[in-house]
Structure 1
Amino acid sequence: MPGAEQRAVARAARTRRRFERGEVRRFTRRARRRRLTALVVAGSLVLLAIVVAVAAYSPLMAVRTIEITGTSRIDAVALEDSLSDQIGVPLTLVDREAVGDVIGGYPLIQSYSLQTRPPSTLVVSVVERTPVGVLLNGDRFDLVDSAGVVIETSDTAPAGYPTLTTPSGGATGTAFHSLARVLLTLPASLDGRVAAVTATTGDDVTLTLGDGAVVMWGGPDRSAQKAVVLEKLMAATDPAEVSSYDVSSPAAAVVGRR
């Protein structure tokens, strides 16, 4: 019996050692697989970064075309030519500050945005200033936007825009800024129908329509509501019988008869 017990103990010890060696081998294989997977992933990421970097800075991804959008009064070809120093520059290295400096030299541009379109196009989208009216400047006429920026100057008043009259005679002061705000909120139905706009203060904007009727607007406050009320009054009355519309207090608007 003692011999049998010793043999059983020896077998158990051998079995345990075989199990332990197997576990060590399995752990070693798993560790090798994890290391190999990590190396493959890291290598792939490095390769991808190299490919992206080479592509981004490659002459194949350089600016070859400059596309200008959104222009009307501005000469798009001239603007494109003024940005020609960006030709040949990789899309990722376009000098946005230099582009901004060039565009800053165009007073008719109110805002702009840049977009790179692979493989080789730089898109410049501009928003031009919107004219609101005409100011008499000596014996010439300045077409201005709501900020008072001169869009163009001509010997005759541009058609389709109201003449603007302020105490300063120019695009400065509270009166001008109030009438400009009012003009920006006028309903589309009045496009081309306003012949003149005057203001002596910030609260007494007055519009004169092409048929001679006067619109007493007041200040720029509640302009959206005033515009709705004015449209309803004009739709409900015969223009030939109306001399004025007073919407300065939109809740108590008054129509003056001829």
Structure 2
Amino acid sequence: MTPAAVSSRRRRGRPSREPREPDEARERSTARRPSGRSVRLRTVLLGAAVVAVFLGAIAVAWLSPLLSVRVIEVDGIEVVTYDEVVDALAVAEGTPLLRVDTAAAAQRVATIPRAASARVQRVYPSTVRVTVTEREAMVFFDAPDGTHSVDVEGVDFAVEPPPMFTPRLVTPTPGTGDPATRAAVEVLDKLPPDLRVQVETVEAPSPSDISIVLTDGRVVVWGGTDRSERKAAVVGPLLTQPGERFDVASPDLPTVR
């Protein structure tokens, strides 16, 4: 037998030297891996802990005096008084903030005659903030009991002298809920600002027959509230022409007399 053959036989007879993981090492690795059951249990326990913390926080906010009303802030008032707002708010000092029904409280504040709207917010840790939008006079009308102010919604909200430059409303039955009153303030609201300050009187025999008398005596016949945007665009250039009566009731065919 040649030396090469002997060497080949020796190589074929040697055991493989490829590394093999011992059985006990594999067992230790398997033991270290968490089972599906233990993972699910940990997830459940973690979720339960989070829920418990959340419920505890709610209980603290609901019961703790640390999160109770101690301050009431009121923004947006000029004529309405702070005491009027607090009385209408009806939220007692020491009430837990979480128990304050902000929607109901805002509705109560909005019942103040001069309040057009109100917003109530909780501001932690101990403040209730009230933001009031007051009504402003758009027109006024004279009545036996005095001068009434009417806002842009047609609401008769106060009996008092009107602010300067507020137009007078002349209509058969002025006041809240009157269709002619509502139409008159709607028309006035559509006027360009530079024209609105020139209005002295708004005459509204009916919702479809509205006229505007300017401080210089000129009259703008408006008609109804339909197409008011178009009428507002037409009336400005029309007033640059000489005349005393400017009719935009049909804004596509305006006339001057």
Q: Same fold (TM over 0.5)?
A: yes
Shorter-chain TM band: 0.7 to 0.9
Q: Identify the residue that residue 205 of structure 1 maps to in structure 2.
A: 210
Q: Identify the residue that residue 255 of structure 1 maps to in structure 2.
A: 256
Structure 1 residue 172 displacement after superposition: 5.3
Whole-angstrom CA distance in 2 between matches of 1:73 and 1:194: 25
Whole-angstrom CA distance in 2 between matches of 1:31 and 1:157: 78
For structure 1, which runs of at least 5 residues remain unmatched after alignment?
A: 1-16
Q: Identify the residue that residue 178 of structure 1 maps to in structure 2.
A: 183
Q: Identify the residue that residue 159 of structure 2 maps to in structure 1.
A: 153
Q: Identify the residue that residue 189 of structure 1 maps to in structure 2.
A: 194
* Bigger proportion of residues as helix: 1
SS in 2 for 1:125: strand
Letter in 2 for 1:123: R
Whole-angstrom CA distance in 2 between matches of 1:232 and 1:150: 33
Q: Within 5 A, what are the aligned runs for 1:97-116?
A: 99-100=105-106, 102-116=108-122
Whole-angstrom CA distance in 2 between matches of 1:226 and 1:145: 22
Alignment counterpart, residue 147 of structure 2, candidates 133, 141, 144? 141
Whole-angstrom CA distance in 2 between matches of 1:170 and 1:39: 66
Whole-angstrom CA distance in 1 between matches of 2:96 and 2:138: 40
Given that residues 115 and 122 in structure 1 are in contact (C-alpha distance below 8 angstroms), is that contact kept between their aligned partners in structure 2? yes
Given that residues 62 and 120 in structure 1 are in contact (C-alpha distance below 8 angstroms), is that contact kept between their aligned partners in structure 2? yes
Structure 1 residue 149 displacement after superposition: 2.9
Alignment counterpart, residue 122 of structure 1, candidates 122, 128, 133? 128
Structure 1 residue 111 displacement after superposition: 2.0
Whole-angstrom CA distance in 2 between matches of 1:114 and 1:139: 34
1:61 is aligned to 2:67: yes
Q: Identify the residue that residue 34 of structure 1 maps to in structure 2.
A: 40
Letter in 2 for 1:221: D
Whole-angstrom CA distance in 2 between matches of 1:187 and 1:120: 45
Letter in 1 for 2:117: S
Q: Identify the residue that residue 242 of structure 1 maps to in structure 2.
A: 243
Structure 1 residue 135 displacement after superposition: 0.8
Letter in 2 for 1:226: K
Letter in 2 for 1:115: Q
Structure 1 residue 121 displacement after superposition: 1.5
Given that residues 136 and 169 in structure 1 are in contact (C-alpha distance below 8 angstroms), is that contact kept between their aligned partners in structure 2? no
For structure 2, which runs of at least 5 residues remain unmatched after alignment?
A: 1-22
Q: Identify the residue that residue 76 of structure 2 maps to in structure 1.
A: 70
Given that residues 112 and 127 in structure 1 are in contact (C-alpha distance below 8 angstroms), is that contact kept between their aligned partners in structure 2? yes
Alignment counterpart, residue 225 of structure 1, candidates 230, 238, 246? 230
1:168 is aligned to 2:169: no
Structure 1 residue 74 displacement after superposition: 1.1
Moved more, 246-255 or 47-56: 47-56
Whole-angstrom CA distance in 2 between matches of 1:126 and 1:47: 37
Whole-angstrom CA distance in 1 between matches of 2:195 and 2:228: 14
Structure 1 residue 97 displacement after superposition: 6.8
Distance 1:36 1:97, change over 3 A: closer
RMSD: 3.0
Moved more, 212-221 or 119-128: 119-128
Whole-angstrom CA distance in 1 between matches of 2:184 and 2:43: 70
Given that residues 56 and 92 in structure 1 are in contact (C-alpha distance below 8 angstroms), is that contact kept between their aligned partners in structure 2? yes
Distance 1:173 1:97, change over 3 A: closer
SS in 2 for 1:68: strand
Instruction: Give % identity.
Output: 33
Q: How many residues align structurally?
A: 236
Given that residues 109 and 126 in structure 1 are in contact (C-alpha distance below 8 angstroms), is that contact kept between their aligned partners in structure 2? yes
Structure 1 residue 244 displacement after superposition: 2.5
**Per-residue CA shift, 1:107-153, capped at 9, x if unaligned?**
12122222111111111222222322111102621111244433322
TM-score by length of 1: 0.77
